[in-house]
Structure 1
Amino acid sequence: MSAYLKSLGGSIADTAIAGVALLITGGVSLLGIITAEAYHPDYATTQEISDLGSTAPPNPVSYEPTATIFNGTMLTSGALVLVASSIGWGDRAYSGSRSASLGSASSVSVCFPEIWRPGTAFLHS
């Protein structure tokens, strides 16, 4: 590794692994949501994406296998973002910065999209 690359901090391998994890996250999210939309009997793109997991209270409705596909996709995506941010956390270039903390916080919001649904204060799926 050249002196210039060493001065950038961290190793290229760690940065590459984090980048690939985020790339896979995008693909998994896109394909999982499209698959869940295809299996949902009444879903329209005008609805919120979290309706694929469960509809809003007071009378929540969950359709299978749509809910399982969507919830599994979100949990997998959140785990991949968490992996990428933890790898970035160990990188000297990101150590002590807000980017790794933001990555960890965003992984929680990806794993549990129902928590931040407008008008609700609890997990409803």
Structure 2
Amino acid sequence: MSVVNLELRAEAPRAPQLTVQVGIDFGSAIAGVIGHKTYQYDLCGDAVNTAARMCSGSEPGRVHVSQEAYRYLRGRFGATSRGPRYYKGKGEMYTYFLENAPGALPEEATPAPADAAEAIY
């Protein structure tokens, strides 16, 4: 989970720059509400852990995906293989950086559906 605090001032000469790095994996997960006084929504599972590893191994402004995620996304996005890399708790994995934004897809490619879960099941 990430928290971003940003203070905007009217007198600031230019808008602050914000970059993100993203990690994606496909797989099963369990979700639920936890807590007694203060409630929190929690999402856990191996796919969530792998996506977190992809995020931490990413670079600002990049989308880093696991081999499992790339299986579903290839043909919709260009990608650069990062080759085999070691990830704590996961071992050696092949991962990829996605190269195309959805609006920049070649015409022959099919855009990813809005609900990725529908595309898998």
Using the size of structure 2 for normalisation, the TM-score is 0.25
The one of the two structures with greater contact order (alpha-carbon pairs below 8 A, sep at least 6) is 1
Structure whose residues are more often helix by fraction: 1
